[in-house]
């Protein structure tokens, strides 16, 4: 504890009696008892302030006879230096102590429970793309990221849809100029991967992504999601396509899901099929969702057209392949029981919240 210095001035009018050792002792005692920097500053004032002990002694020197002035002057300077040096040491020590104390008081209690972190949720599209990607990756497929800005060549001509072909009508899209456009189908990725695969080894890939169409009616969106799949190898048959789609449908929509093929037409596949899945709502008995048919249309597929293989640099006498393309919107609606397609695009937080990440854990 700091005890105020008992005032002993060593200053008697007209005569200075300086006991150097005594002053040093007092300085030492005062400084050693200082508990904090505030009091330390008070001690400084006490010795060196306007009316401080050392200051007063300095003033008193002039009262001394000339022959003693020098002697006491030197002594006084020694005391002053002693005070300043000791003061600096104590000041440094206190400063450190105070910082340490502060750190101790401010330290964080890591055992306290944290505040809840609010996380976002994955959009149904992202979830379904992740799920499909996992499934196909487990079967050895590459996951390809195609470009949304495409050329007429890759989106149409290399898929056996020359300019003027009637199949273009259903896929009118947004043109940037004569050649560049927003892809109307992920099938463009088929043409790219066949060309890019220079050593013409077998291909197994899926390409999920956004596609665009210039649809003007109320039930269609100008943008939607698709997943493309392409397999090219020796001896690939329609049976491989059917087996793959069966696994796809069952993993995604439930183990009891059945599939059926209906003949269809796409310029880049031959034969072409439309693939239906048994209605997952009524199990095939017939309900409102499947319009009492027991089946729901899911995707387009077929065996890769020889012209497409040829344009991609694959010899159709050696290689065959299958391809399919499915809309992500309908799939997400089926899978997550989303009643209206518009919910997927309006980003209503109440709808999105239902896909909170904790469901994935
Ligand atoms: N690209 C076609 C569409 O958008 C779907 C499809 C893909 C059909 C691959 C057959 C093979 O309608």
Kindly state the average pLDDT of the residues 89-112: 88
Residue 266 pLDDT > 60? yes
Q: 161 and 97, same structural domain?
A: no
- For residue 245, give its domain range: 124-360
Residue 112 resides in a domain: no
Pocket test for ligand 1, best of 185, 203, 274, 321 (most atoms within 8 A of CB): 185
- Which of residues 105, 140, 157 is at a domain's end? 105
pTM beyond 0.95, yes or no: no
Q: 128 and 94, same structural domain?
A: no
Question: Which is the closest atom of ligand 1 to the Cα of 299?
Answer: 5
Q: 138 and 56, same structural domain?
A: no
Q: Give the distance (Å) from ligand 1 centre to CA of residue 190.
A: 11
Number of helices followed by number of strands (H, E) in the chain: 12, 11
Residue 140 resides in a domain: yes
Provide the strand spans (E) within the chain. Answer: 11-12, 15-16, 142-143, 149-151, 180-182, 203-212, 223-233, 259-266, 269-278, 295-304, 320-327
pLDDT given at position 361: 46
Residue 1 resides in a domain: no
Q: 335 and 212, same structural domain?
A: yes
pLDDT given at position 336: 87
> Does the C-beta of 323 come closer than 6 Å to ligand 1?
yes
Residue 9 vs residues 15, 43, 143: alpha-carbon distances, Å: 12, 15, 91
> Does the C-beta of 324 come closer than 6 Å to ligand 1?
yes
Q: 158 and 91, same structural domain?
A: no
Residue 122 pLDDT > 60? yes
Residue 119 resides in a domain: no
- Higher-pLDDT residue of 338, 230: 230
Residue 343 pLDDT > 60? yes
- Which of residues 105, 140, 165 is at a domain's end? 105
> Does the C-beta of 146 come closer than 6 Å to ligand 1?
no
DSSP per-residue letters across 284-334 = TS--TTTTTSSEEEEEEEEEEPHHHHHHTT--TTT-EEEEEEEEHHHHHHH
SS3 letters across 95-125 = HHHHHHHHHHHHCCCCCCCCCCCCCCECCHH
Residue 42 resides in a domain: yes
Residue 239 resides in a domain: yes
Q: Give the single-character DSSP code of 141.
A: P
Rounded CA separation 173/211 (Å): 9
What are the tens digits of pLDDT across the range 241-253? Answer: 999 999 999 999 9
Structure tokens given for 215: 């649809």
Residue 110 resides in a domain: no
Of all protein residues, the one whose alpha carbon is nearest to atom 9 of ligand 1 is: 324
Q: 130 and 98, same structural domain?
A: no
CATH number where 327 lies: 3.30.930.10
> Does the C-beta of 300 come closer than 6 Å to ligand 1?
yes
Which residue in 250, 285, 248, 245 sits closest to 261, CA to CA?
245
Q: 200 and 164, same structural domain?
A: yes
pLDDT given at position 89: 94
Q: 333 and 210, same structural domain?
A: yes
User: Based on the structure, what is the number of domains in the chain?
Assistant: 2
Q: 281 and 166, same structural domain?
A: yes
Which residue in 123, 130, 105 sits closest to 227, CA to CA?
130
pLDDT given at position 8: 37
Q: 164 and 75, same structural domain?
A: no
Q: Give the distance (Å) from ligand 1 centre to CA of residue 324.
A: 6
Residue 223 resides in a domain: yes
What are the tens digits of pLDDT across the range 70-92? Answer: 888 888 898 999 999 999 999 99
Q: 134 and 77, same structural domain?
A: no
């Amino acid at each position: 504890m700091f005890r105020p210095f008992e005032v002993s001035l060593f200053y008697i009018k007209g005569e200075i009696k300086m006991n150097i050792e005594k002053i040093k002792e007092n300085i030492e005692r005062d400084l050693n008892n200082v508990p904090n920097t505030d009091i330390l500053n008070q001690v400084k004032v006490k010795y060196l302030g306007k009316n401080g002990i050392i200051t007063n002694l300095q003033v008193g020197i002039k009262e001394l006879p000339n022959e003693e002035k020098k002697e006491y002057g030197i002594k006084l300077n020694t005391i002053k230096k002693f005070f300043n040096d000791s003061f600096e040491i104590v000041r440094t020590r206190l400063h450190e102590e105070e910082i340490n104390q502060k750190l101790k008081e401010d330290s964080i209690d890591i055992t306290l429970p944290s505040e809840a972190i609010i996380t976002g949720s994955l959009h149904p599209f992202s979830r379904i793309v992740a799920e499909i990607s996992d499934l196909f990756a487990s079967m050895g497929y590459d996951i390809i990221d195609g470009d949304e800005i495409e050329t007429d060549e890759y989106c149409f001509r290399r898929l056996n849809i020359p300019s003027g072909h009637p199949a273009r009508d259903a896929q009118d899209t947004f043109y940037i100029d004569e050649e560049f456009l927003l892809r109307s189908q992920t099938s463009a990725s088929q043409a790219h991967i066949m060309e890019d695969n220079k050593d013409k080894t077998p291909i197994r890939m899926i390409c999920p992504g956004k596609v665009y169409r210039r649809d003007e009616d109320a039930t269609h969106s100008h943008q939607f999601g698709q997943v493309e799949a392409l397999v090219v190898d020796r001896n690939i048959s329609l049976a491989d396509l059917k087996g793959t789609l069966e696994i796809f449908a069952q993993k995604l929509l439930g183990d009891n899901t059945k599939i059926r093929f209906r003949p269809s037409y796409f310029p880049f596949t031959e034969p072409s099929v439309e693939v239906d899945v048994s209605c997952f709502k009524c199990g095939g008995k017939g309900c409102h969702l499947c319009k009492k048919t027991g089946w729901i249309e899911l995707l387009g597929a077929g065996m890769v057209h020889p012209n497409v293989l040829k344009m991609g640099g694959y010899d159709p006498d050696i290689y065959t392949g299958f391809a399919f393309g499915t809309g992500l919107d309908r799939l997400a609606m089926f899978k997550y029981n989303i009643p209206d397609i518009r919910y997927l695009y309006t980003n209503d937080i109440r709808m999105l919240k239902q896909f909170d990440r904790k469901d994935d854990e």
